[in-house]
Chain A
């Protein structure tokens, strides 16, 4: 085959966001050769967009915090579908991972006595998020990127992987291309870590960048790995809604953490109207107490604006549906009101939320220090993903690891804000270490040339379909249908229709043609992404149809309540022998007695 470069690593990491970079650094530190491939330039991955902070029970601001409280918060937020082992490890190891970042040069905001400052966030009992204004993700990715390049990690920028290659059961390589020249790349690796992030591009309103096409989930699925909890897609309650071109761009939860409030068109703080029973005891019942909480009063309970994301998103939907929304289909998020409470409010807001200020000023002509923003839900995150072992992050395919958003387990039915960045660090590190160990214990495998040839033929096929459907049009249609039919509020009939639509779109995507040549061709790339988007869309839809209850981020109009039966199972998907997607309900992993006790004590 012409134009094929063959590269060897002990550990190959796919994806260079927080999890991928952390995994690569750790693999390298464990004495194996490590390469990392990313679809964009280094440092541009979606981690860069994370705003609020990294959740870690360091107890710098409130000394009542510890890993047990963080664990209990995470489980409660996830409606107890979380993998308890992952939630435990995550809560225990997050503080150390944050300090590690500081040791690599990250500069977090400080407390008065010079320690790392922590802020309040939805679902976290105490101020827990280490942060840098509202650009924590940038700080994190830059720190990891700079640490990585000085630690022997080889970086392949603007490359994408099309398929994983196996030797028997085990994964031994990956096939893809580099975008600049369109040349194929063949990687041999003793272990592979998938860290490709989420699936937001399966929806039309999303905070996610073009890269988020479910690549890792699809690669793993095609290689025989199981996917889990795919019905749980997080719709962040506050995305921009106007102007149309910025619809979906994230407005950080930090706005509410700093005292921002949600109002409907009548000026009412509607979040007080509906507080779920299991949060009643920990939520303020009046505005005054809520304000005091945001200003660090340890005796105060949190305002209802800081309830979990799934709940806030649904309350916003309700207000809009019942005609109490703003002119562009959102509700109002107001931080400017704090000028009634503190002197220097304008400067305070600019200092605490600089990129939000910037974003609204430049993109919407809105000055958030003097007027409210209009916001609405946006597709943000997928809790589900590749099913992994909680300790090692290895999937059911030997040698194939997954970490970060692409992996399932930590967040259960709903993720708490701030738990994503800590997830990347804790499980990126674990995946990197365990992948390195796996690589040391196992020699290289044999790559089957026929598999490589087949993957190459599939990749080139769109060039032969001159005059076929345009790749962008198929993608837009998919996004629209998923948004309409498998969005925030779901119904059996609509989701069944989505399955039909997906079938048609799959046929259409098989006919997609591309123009131009192989060099840096975004049309070609979009055509190849469609395969992944179809898989994750089908996975979300099938899992959502099967779960006949409402829990966490998964809300069904036809089954609006939680069901005890479904509260005992995770949904697992696997590729069947004839290529069909198979679903089974898997009983939750056993909860150890000590963890059970923590949950009971903190209920």
Chain B
């Protein structure tokens, strides 16, 4: 646990001291604000709860992109600059390195997600939504964020360069995104099984509508765990290469 915190603290310092962290935060919040004004609020009259649902749907997209951008550097940058050697020759387990890096990115992404809370608060100016709906939506965003971050960590663990890491993570996430479309053209029961892998429609949409279901929480938690486990195995196997 101690080693995880040592790794996470240094990573967090790196996010806060280099411009990339701020750049990602600023760009994400800007896009989120624009989307809220143009898509969620829109021109015509709309139910307040529909505005919130549209906002959360758009936020799932910005959260995913931010997760990829935040994680692509985690291993790939250190591999390029040669600093991974310090971690790999210290008495720290690979799993501790992976979890420490993931945690630092999760802290940054969580701050970023919570910083957007002023947008749904704006709905109260001219309308009314339940606080519970907003909270459920944000729990969903955090869980989706954790899952996409862990896929990003896996991409970064596999890649030599940051660009490759970004591309790999995007491919992994896109595969889970495509599961829904694929499930509609595959006959059940296989189609139903594939649908359950869907990162957005199957598991995020309930949160978007204000529902917190145990099955969705378990899905995101398992995906996060498995992707971090795979990252650890990847890092361990690289010593044999």
User: Is B one of A's binding partners?
Assistant: no
Interface residues of B (CB under 8 A from A): none
